[in-house]
Amino acid sequence: MFVLNLITNNYRFLLLFNSLQDFFVMRNAMTGNLPTEIGLTGGSLKRMSLEGNRLDGAIPTNIGSLTNAQALSFRSNVFDSNIPTEIGLLTSLTFLDLSFNSFEGDIPSEIGLLGDNLETFMLEYGTLEGNIPGSLGDLKVAQHIVLSKNGFGGYLPSSLGKLDAIKTLKLDNNKLMGPLPVELWEVMNTIEELDFSHNLFTEEIPRELFLAGTGSAVISLRLDYNLITGAIPSEIGHLTSAKTIGLSNNYFNSAIPSEFGLLTGLEWLDLSSAGLQGELPEQVFQMRGLTELYLNDNSLKGKIPASFSSLRALKHLWLQNNDFTGTMPQSICDLRLESLIVDCDAVSCSDDCGCSCI
């Protein structure tokens, strides 16, 4: 096997050979267009990374001749043309990273032709727009799909429910809208990280996403900063492996479901600015793994329960801009939290409690 490795050098032109299998030219100062000679390796090239350069223009269409390529990374360049449809010819790919570029247009539907082998598809921090193609659901062995921080809009295709092997699905910081597809319940048995935050999703969270027997693998769920309404489904209590849940900055207009108390391994919970009402259910204090709890900017009421002191791992507790009244229990003060924020005009704190007032 012949390997050409130019890492940490400064080459402006790529010299490719017919027997080349591995080509790594990462974090150099290469500029200009990627030469069409990239396709001259034919079927020999298996792994290529051009990460961290300043290549611009278009990826040559003859990239489709690299039919045995297994891993390609064009990450962190300044490519500014359309993603070539010929990418769909690379059916041996298991890894494709197009992140941190300035590609135009949308994801070509031909991406679905990589479904038999593609395990990781990275396309974050870009300038792509348009809808997410339904053919993305054809990536039947994909474990990691990250399309964060682009300009994708429209509705999510229901075909994403066909991603049988998916573990990471991150579509955050786009302009996606409409209801969450009910069909997503089909991926909830395998998914570990689901991030749809900072979009324009509306309507209620489908209860089907958290039915018994689903969601048991979820470690991180982020739906914060959307336009979701209705109630937080009580079935969220089935996410028993969750460490992180963010539902803040939505419009639930409901009470906090007592089933949160079933999530005893949860470490980070953000329910701030979510339209929540009523008193805190006693079951919340069974989440003894919590280190951070953000309940601020809601319409929660009543006295602050002394039961917070049972959360011995807690470091940050934000309760401001609610309708809590009374006195901060000394047992909470004794936790010596790193941050404890309340409305001091409505809740009285002793001098040694460490409360921060707004």
> HEC profile for 72-86?
EECCCCEECCECCHH
Q: Provide, rounded to the nearest whole percent, the portion of the chain with pLDDT above 90.
A: 82
Distances (CA, A) of 133 to 91, 107, 110, 220: 18, 7, 9, 25
CB 37 within 8 A of CB 61: no
Q: Is the dihedral of CA 25, 26, 31, 34 positive or negative?
A: positive
Range in 11-15, 184-188, 263-267, 291-295 with the lowest mean pLDDT: 11-15
Q: Mean pLDDT over residues 45-69, rounded?
A: 93
How many C-beta atoms surround the C-beta of residue 43 within 10 A?
A: 12
- What was the pLDDT predicted at 30? 86
CA-nearest of 124, 116, 161, 123 to 142 is 116
- What was the pLDDT predicted at 212? 65
CATH classification of 1-178 is 3.80.10.10, yes or no? yes
Q: Mean pLDDT over residues 302-331, rounded?
A: 95
CA-nearest of 288, 246, 280 to 263 is 288
Q: Mean pLDDT over residues 96-102, rounded?
A: 98
What is the C-alpha to C-alpha distance for residues 350 and 328, in angstroms, rounded to an integer?
8
What is the C-alpha to C-alpha distance for residues 52 and 103, in angstroms, rounded to an integer?
16
- What was the pLDDT predicted at 111? 98
CA angle, 225 then 239 then 338, to 5°: 60
CATH topology of domain 187-358: 3.80.10
- What was the pLDDT predicted at 42? 61
Is residue 181 over pLDDT 90? Answer: yes
What is the C-alpha to C-alpha distance for residues 271 and 253, in angstroms, rounded to an integer?
12
Range(s) for CATH 3.80.10.10 in the chain? 1-178, 187-358
Q: Mean pLDDT over residues 276-281, rounded?
A: 96
- What was the pLDDT predicted at 29? 83
CA-nearest of 118, 108, 158 to 140 is 118
* Chain centre distance of CA 317: 24
